[in-house]
Structure 1
């Protein structure tokens, strides 16, 4: 990882990062710290470890179960061609996510730092690949995902007010912006509030899926099995279509690695990180498979493929006068998912700034709330910017390829670190077969996506490559005016948000 020098004055440091004066904190800063705050020898503060096992489970399930399972399981069906093959894709997408999560459990307990992929890629391959991950996360992965989740929330919350047409564009965007700001404020104020919101809405979305599963089971037990009689008819077995079907399945499982972003705030991470993964991933997989079987039992394939929201179409047919609850459930699901995503992904930018790969102001921690307020506000602004781009949904076409590529690199880093640091402490050590299986599968998806979606792959690759000159301009040999500007922003933010630098040492 890139090293960031900590100065005793306001002198600039190498790279895009800088720090506020530690000599100015003195007794006044220390007196503002509550008894439960950590004040290191250098006077810095740390994020509090407030997340227990069930909080971890709620974060994983809450982030994974977003709008995808309610709105767009038709993508898996479209590229699978048949019900039977679609169910197999859902099962193996869950298994692959579980395999990847186990690999991340080893990485997360060996490198107990927040930041997830960013921290692991940096440890294994150095600062440039880590920066490139941060770069694409900054431009594509995080703000686009959050913007789309917020828009989906607004659309489904407003839909009952416009039952015969789409809600107005301005109303949807304004409500999406308001909910993004509200959840950012909650994340700024208190980590425990974030956990409570996540747990509450995770329960509501699981309840919604159980309602769908129960209605589907009742429909099947009533003898309506005709739609499942030829499950593998019209299956598409071409490798390219299989890869795209898995992309859609894995997109609905995306978020399984988000708990690794907040390892530093997890109590006893050596025990709770792998336990949370082993509880949440099988639970999500079982719920997803049962939910899809219910969809397929009730809705014909052509109906599913023409639906804009499969869960709402399902409710219109099965729930009668109670069908109105499904848009509400979808809105609650996306609300909880957005809350978890804001919490976890803000720590990515926080750690990146702490390592000098972003302006150091983003790594500051509020002395009263012990939350990275500048990082949260920075991410909120990026999301708001994308909210008002009319075709923001087109960005999602590039997310899956870029995400699976960097997950591939992260898991490759597991093998690299076993060779590079064979004697390092590994509280969890997965069987070597597990990362190899994951890498072979992820490699298959990356390679065959080139043939089926060359334009998306090309644009995603160009965005990654553009990060290289940015790295050399801002990090490797930074321009002096950038360093001065970063220092000024850092000082301003430290005063405006009553923040101090993080006390954790960098390797």
Structure 2
């Protein structure tokens, strides 16, 4: 079964275990947990060192978001210098979240990420709500964002503006093709996801090198055509200027503090979208040797590298482009290298960005499909959504064997195990549901509106999970915690995260209203199911 780390940009898979002896706190994913002795027995098989954990955390965080989020950040702050500060704040907030999740992963023998911890602390309803929101909102909107970025990257190659309906069509067709590929076989999905990681890292490297080349070219010859835009060396980086957001110009000089708070919240969501993947620290914590000593080193080193990389990439954008154009495209990496080094550089980067986003979609399709299957198996969703493979390829035979490769069904027939039955073992109906929902988000939303919506949906549960950590510190002070960061880190995370969700809900009432309706519906379904 899949874990619930939202990608973005980075995703992983694993089984969720239940809190022992509590039928009311079963996470949606996976069978019941064994006892603490089992947990201690697993420690002997832990494979990750601090170096391995560092590599995992860096790889999971650096994803497709850094190629698109800068436009969301830039349009919601008054200056390029303020944008760089927002990226630092987003990195520090993610750092606090990673440390908090790592404490949960090291202290509690649950292996299912946020959902398992929510079930442990709050009970079954909260765990179901997270699965429900991720299936219906967070993951489909995330995949819609990535599809839109692919369309924007392809459209930015053209010398003339591409019509909005054409970009929507490209995004929809791209997503349909990606889902079809990922509905063939689980192994195909996993291999595709692994192969895209190197492409993401290479694209980040090329953007940073492009900015460095522009700086060197300007120092050698101030009139060089390779020195990027002129703003980076002719203007003050912290001087307030007007920006454009959702088709209208923002005048920062006459804006109230409350409105500035709303725009900064939207900007931070853009940065946090790119950092997403830090919540996988809980998985690292459950697999690392000597977590009390190795885990702090791995988290600190990984966050420093990721934060530094993102600062360098954004510096490169502001060097390569006129500042007025950074917020005008959701494919800023393509525009930046294309304008500085020519059309062929833009085409190359557009291909790399599109492939990187396709890799992110692949991870999300895998996760949301398995999550939907798990929800179906617990009868939270219709049973048909839990079926795997192609029904007409299944072969049936009378029960004649007790071989563990045979699954006995209530109707008195046996169906061979999926790995022996068919190469088509993907959850097709679950993927179909994700396909339909994502297409709706693609057609009805824009990059910025979807980014705010997805941010609210995910951070609602991030904050709830870390607040659960504070509850556990008070409720179970005797719980063994191999890694325990200072209480200031989870406290800051909860306070700042709550303020972000609260202000964003007011700043974007439509997205907040949709999310509230989904939460109400999910609560009713959970309560009816319990009764």
> TM-score interval w.r.t. the shorter chain?
0.7 to 0.9
For residues 213-268 of structure 1, the C-alpha deviation after alignment (integer angstroms, 9 at most, x for no partner) is: 4345435645567535422222756323322221222122223214647988x576
Task: Show the counterpart of 1:383.
Answer: 434
- Unmatched tracts of structure 2, length 5 or more: 1-16, 32-44, 242-251, 389-406, 408-416
- The structure 1 residue matched to 2:232, chosen from 204, 210, 227, is 227
Partner-residue secondary structure (3-state), 2:162: coil
Task: Go from structure 1 to structure 2 and tell me whether the alpha carbon gap of 1:201 and 1:181 turns closer, same or farther (over 3 Å shift).
Answer: farther
Counterparts in 2 of 1:171-182, with a 5 A limit?
A: 172-182=171-181
TM-score by length of 2: 0.70
Which of 361, 374, 399 is the matching residue for 1:338?
A: 361
SS in 2 for 1:193: helix
Tell me whether 213-222 or 326-335 shows the greater mean CA deviation: 213-222
- In structure 2, do the counterparts of structure 1 residues 51 and 343 end up closer, same or farther at CA, with 3 Å as the change threshold? farther
Aligned to 1:462: 517
In structure 2, the CA distance between the partners of 1:74 and 1:438, relative to structure 1 (3 Å rule), is: same
Equivalent residue number for residue 117 of structure 2: 120
Pick the aligned partner of 1:87 from 67, 80, 84: 84
Pair 132,444 (structure 1): closer, same or farther in 2 beyond 3 Å: same
* Cα distance, 1:89 vs structure 2: 0.4
C-alpha distance in 2, partners of 1:56/1:363?
35
* CA–CA distance in structure 2, aligned partners of residues 198 and 146 of structure 1: 16
Q: 1:144 to 1:55 in 2, by over 3 A?
A: farther
Q: How far apart are 1:142 and its partner, in Å?
A: 1.2
Please provide the CA RMSD for this pair: 4.2
Instruction: Give the 3 Å change call, closer, same or farther, for CA 258–17 of structure 1 in structure 2.
Output: closer
Question: Where does structure 1 lack aligned partners over 5 or more consecutive residues?
Answer: 6-12, 21-48, 478-507
Give 1:432 deviation, angstroms: 0.8
Q: What residue is the counterpart of 2:97 in the other structure?
A: 100
Q: How does 1:289-300 map to 2 (within 5 A)?
A: 289-300=311-322
Quote the offset at 1:126 in angstroms. Answer: 1.3
Who is 1:500 aligned against?
none
Superposed, which structure 2 residues align to 1:147-158 within 5 Å?
Answer: 147-153=144-150, 156=153
What secondary structure, in the 3-state scheme, does the structure 1 residue paired with 2:76 have?
helix
- Pair 303,221 (structure 1): closer, same or farther in 2 beyond 3 Å: same
**Deviation readout 1:12-40 (Å, 9 max, x if unpaired):** x99999999xxxxxxxxxxxxxxxxxxxx
Judging changes above 3 Å, is the alpha-carbon distance between structure 1 residues 84 and 206 closer, same or farther for their aligned structure 2 residues?
closer
The match for 2:9 is none
Give the equivalent residue in structure 2 for 1:70: 67
How far apart, CA to CA, are the structure 2 residues paired with 1:174 and 1:161? 19
Aligned 8 A contact 1:79 1:242 in 2: yes
| Number of residue-to-residue matches in the alignment | 438
* Higher RCO (Cα < 8 Å, 6 or more apart): 1
Matched residue, 1:132 = 129
- Deviations 1:284-339, CA, capped at 9 Å, x for gaps: 21111111112122323322233342212211221124332110121122123223
CA offsets 1:406-438 (integer angstroms, 9 cap, x no match): 111110000111122222222211111111111
Equivalent of 2:329, from 307, 321, 330? 307
